Amino acid sequence: MASYRTIFRMLAIQRVLVKYGLDEIIKETHLLRPMRFLFYLAPRRRDSSAPLGERIRLALEELGPIFVKFGQAISTRRDLLPPDIADELAKLQDAVPPFPANEAIDILNDAYGEPVEAVFKRFDVEPLAAASIAQVHTAQLPDGNEVIIKVLRPGVHEQIDRDLRVLRMVASLADRYWVHGKRLKPIEVVNEYEHTILDELDLMREAANTAQLKRNFQGSDMLYVPDIYWDYCRPEVLVQERIYGTPISDMDALRAAGTNIQVLAENGVEIFFTQVFRHNFFHADMHPGNIFVIHTDPEMPKYAAVDFGIVGTLSPDDQRYLAENFLAFFDRNYYRIAKLHLDSGWVPPGTRVDQLETAVRTVCEPIFNKPLAEISFAQVLMRLFRVAQRFNVEIQPQMILLHKTLFNIEGLGRQLYPQLDLWKTAHPVLKQWMDEQVGGRAMLRDVRDNLPQLRDALRELPAILQHLGEQAANGRIQFNLNSPELREMRRQLEEQRRQRYWLAAAATSTISGALVITLGATPWVGLVLLGAGAIAAWFARP
């Protein structure tokens, strides 16, 4: 049962839509539709003569952080939106109205327990930028370093909590009454989004995310991540190095500086796939307001990223599943894509693989080997959605952040370099990652990782066998040679025996090969022994 506050918030949302003359959205809103006439009586209704894009932007700003982030997410999709609406929504990236500077100073005074002028050598009262969750001021540390100070908006916790209650209510209704509710898992999606947005409200977490990404790209010539000044960070305050660069949305300035736009676009794709597959830690809020370009060397431009409040990770199984799907797509192996969906449990067990293969081929084949400018991913996704409906594909909530990030990447790619060959750029990164996961080095790593477990198991085995023997001798165990338990025990013992044999063979061959190569005697023999060790490690896998 929804609380009265949640219901009032839903009414307030519709009132704001009416206030800005967005009547068509009201007419399409089925929830509380019988009462919609009440909102036409709402006072201070805005003149609908203002441009539609401006009215949508103002409505999202008034509705608060969650709705602003929705506008940010779709503002990069100029292939989906009319230009005037896309231009207005792009203002949500860095032009959200700021809150008063004296409120920011009060937050900083409380956070540090002393006046802000005693903490910083200089504090600039005028905000540098304002966003839906926080706003940014520039300052200078006592040692002279230039920094930015990110301060959470006052009352943002309460505002987001209120809107999350609305989302949970709508998701519950959708799950119960919407025909696609069970398959799209709206409750799980909202839970995933709630986890993400609440993480974003802890600026200490954002600082930790920034530090991790900086380590991941230490020494990179493609991406720069700013330093964090930990002594000045608090849950509601983040202090980091100030970045000087050109906003990626300022294409005129980038071209005027002679920036190699093709290299910039290709590096952006490589950075994304590197984060997802090599690091398994990706920036999941890559809208243009968070990306800058350092073009001191125009031929080798470098990205500079900020705002790591939202990052994503995937389980090893999801990583492997995605990589195999991407590679199968690059190879036009649609049977493999269909089989992966079936093996992962994303489609019902009785699904015919050949039928799913044909459906995927029909959608994907027309866009293959085309530059980004000639691909409408909106249409492709709509067609894939119809395929998903037909085959009862379950949408996985853990993929929502990745989907959002892919949309942002595509939007940036279209804006930067529409001729980008997305497949050609991404394929080498994925191929290398897959080779590392299933190649010889991966097998040797499995041997190394499993040796401690094998050692511990061998140490415990005599005590376990002695204990079982004593219980059998005292009559406390009744043996049924055909019982499922004993069959499973025999199977496990046989599996352990097999693993011990192959692990021992792998270890012996690997050590022998390393010794032969180290001693310099007939290197080819050492390579053969190492190869044999890798093969044995493969057979030792459970």
Closest CA to 411 of 285, 325, 223: 285
Write down the catalytic residue from 163, 285, 307, 446.
285
Closest among 529, 524, 534 to 503, alpha carbons compared: 534
Contacts of 373 (CB under 8 A, 6+ apart): 414, 418, 419
Give catalytic status of residue 227 as yes or no: no
Residues ≥6 apart with Cβ < 8 Å to 354:
335, 338
Instruction: Calculate the CA 242 to chain-centre distance.
Output: 25
SS3 per residue for 236-247: CEEEEECCCCEE
The secondary structure element, H or E, covering residue 512 is helix 484-519
Q: Give the Å distances, CA to CA, from 195 to 171, 245, 296, 407.
A: 15, 32, 39, 20
How far is residue 381's CA from residue 378's CA, in Å, rounded to a whole number?
5
Contact 193, 171 (CB under 8 A): no
Instruction: Report the alpha-carbon angle 199-205-210, nearest 5.
Output: 120
Tokens 């140490």: give the residue.
459
DSSP string, 123-172: E-SS-SEE-SSEEEEEEE-TTS-EEEEEEEPTTHHHHHHHHHHHHHHHHH
Torsion of CA 448, 450, 451, 455, to 10 degrees: 160
Pairing of strands 134-140, 129-130: antiparallel
Dihedral sign computed on CA atoms, order 9, 15, 16, 22: positive
SS3 state at 234: strand
Q: Please, what is the Cα angle at 235 between 229 and 238, to 5 degrees?
A: 35
Residue 406 host element (H or E): helix 400-416
The alpha carbon dihedral of 265, 268, 269, 270 has a sign of: positive
Q: Give the phi and the psi of residue 147 in degrees, each rounded to 5.
A: -135, 165
- At CA 457, angle to CA 529 and CA 539, rounded to 5? 35
* Phi, psi (degrees; rounded to nearest 5) at 241: -55, 140
**Count of residues in the chain:** 542
For the annotated catalytic residues, the residue numbers are 285
